[in-house]
């Protein structure tokens, strides 16, 4: 049975790359135009509660707004679960959780994290360690598509992160899986040339320098609609953040998912991105709309 009340929450990964006026904080801009944001800082930092309380004030005007947070790489990549570090990670998220603003915590694993007995046990251990939070896991290796692996997601109530990434050996292809009440879609772009670097290295924007075409976004709209038919909520996160492209594609995809005609898109973005080599933005999906 489908779920007509499913929430679809679109937003970019992070806000530090967003340029705004001097009077407006980038997070305020995100909350004014989107209903979600992914926190990349939690992948490398243990946040202080006072910081996340400030963030709550920045988004208070949007009552539907939700955060997702990346689990720290100490737990996913280094496989270290020191009680003091686990507690420090949780402390930074409690203000968001208690305010009802933390939609989920994303466990991002590298391509080398294949479906094996040892890795399955680590996955389960993380689920138990962070049992207080709704969890979603991003797997970049296609071995996690087998029935037994997907069954592990379902058994332990972990959401499956459906990703778009460059195609390479045994890479996770585009999917539309739903393994818990929370659906998750994450678009990294398809910049194959700059893709290969260690997740633990400082992130370089050029890795995510990719602007999705209308037809590519339309493919993901169909997948999101399919997931939303059964989920309580679906996060749709654009991670192609170089040059503000995550904001552009995020706004475009949000409009598509709402059945819009493009009239809800900010004029400054229409002027900045009227046309790209990968296809005309907005005009091909909204053929009747003129672009200034």
Domain of 179? 7-263
Task: Output phi, psi for 17, to 5 deg.
Answer: -90, 0
Residue the block writes with tokens 């420090």:
88
Q: Tell me the pLDDT tens digit for each residue of 222-278.
A: 999 999 999 999 999 999 877 788 999 999 999 999 987 666 666 666 566 554 333
Q: For residue 103, what is the domain's CATH number?
A: 3.20.20.410
Tell me whether residue 286 is in a domain: no
pLDDT at 22 over 60: yes
The pLDDT, as a whole number, for residue 287 is 32
Tell me whether residue 79 is in a domain: yes
CA separation (Å) from 50 to 36, 105, 230?
20, 19, 36
The pLDDT, as a whole number, for residue 26 is 93
Tell me whether residue 160 is in a domain: yes
Q: Tell me the pLDDT tens digit for each residue of 86-108.
A: 999 999 999 999 999 999 999 99
Residue 11 neighbours by CB under 8 Å, 6+ apart: 30, 34, 35, 36, 37, 38, 235, 236, 237, 238, 250
Contact 215, 194 (CB under 8 A): no
The pLDDT, as a whole number, for residue 271 is 61
The CA distance from 146 to 92, in Å, is 35
- The mean pLDDT value of the chain amounts to 87
Helices and strands: H and E segment counts in the chain: 9, 8
Q: Tell me the pLDDT tens digit for each residue of 173-228.
A: 999 999 999 999 999 999 866 666 655 655 554 777 889 999 999 999 999 999 99
Tell me whether residue 272 is in a domain: no
Tell me whether residue 93 is in a domain: yes
Predicted TM-score (pTM) of the model is 0.88
Does 248 or 3 have the greater pLDDT score? 248
pLDDT at 118 over 50: yes
The number of folded domains in the chain is 1
Tell me whether residue 147 is in a domain: yes
Contact 191, 210 (CB under 8 A): yes
Tell me whether residue 288 is in a domain: no
Tell me whether residue 281 is in a domain: no
CA separation (Å) from 171 to 22, 52, 111, 143, 184?
42, 34, 7, 9, 18
């Amino acid at each position: 049975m489908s779920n007509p009340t499913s929430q679809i929450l679109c937003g970019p990964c992070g806000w530090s790359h967003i340029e705004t006026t001097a009077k407006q904080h980038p997070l305020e801009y995100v909350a004014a135009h989107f209903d979600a944001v992914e926190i990349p800082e939690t992948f490398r930092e243990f946040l202080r509660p006072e910081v996340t309380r400030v963030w709550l004030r920045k988004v208070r005007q949007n009552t539907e707004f939700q955060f997702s947070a990346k689990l720290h790489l100490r737990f996913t990549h280094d496989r270290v679960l020191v009680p003091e570090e686990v507690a420090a990670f949780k402390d930074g998220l409690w203000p968001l959780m208690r305010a009802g603003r933390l939609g989920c915590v994303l466990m991002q694993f590298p391509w080398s994290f294949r479906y094996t007995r040892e890795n399955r046990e680590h996955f389960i251990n993380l689920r138990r360690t962070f049992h207080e939070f709704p969890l979603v896991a991003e797997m970049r290796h296609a071995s996690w598509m087998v029935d037994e692996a997907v069954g592990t997601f379902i058994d332990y109530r972990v959401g499956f992160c459906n990703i778009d990434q460059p195609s390479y050996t045994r890479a996770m292809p585009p999917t539309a899986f739903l393994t818990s009440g929370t659906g998750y879609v994450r678009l990294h772009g398809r910049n194959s040339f700059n893709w290969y670097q260690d997740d633990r290295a400082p992130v370089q924007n050029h890795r995510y320098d990719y602007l999705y075409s209308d037809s590519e976004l339309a493919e993901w709209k169909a997948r999101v609609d399919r997931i939303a038919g059964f989920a309580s909520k679906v996060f749709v996160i654009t991670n192609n953040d170089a040059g503000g492209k995550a904001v552009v594609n995020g706004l475009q995809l949000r409009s598509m998912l709402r059945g819009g005609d493009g009239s809800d898109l900010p004029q400054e973005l229409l002027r900045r991105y009227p046309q790209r080599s990968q296809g005309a933005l907005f005009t091909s999906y909204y053929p009747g709309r003129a672009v200034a």
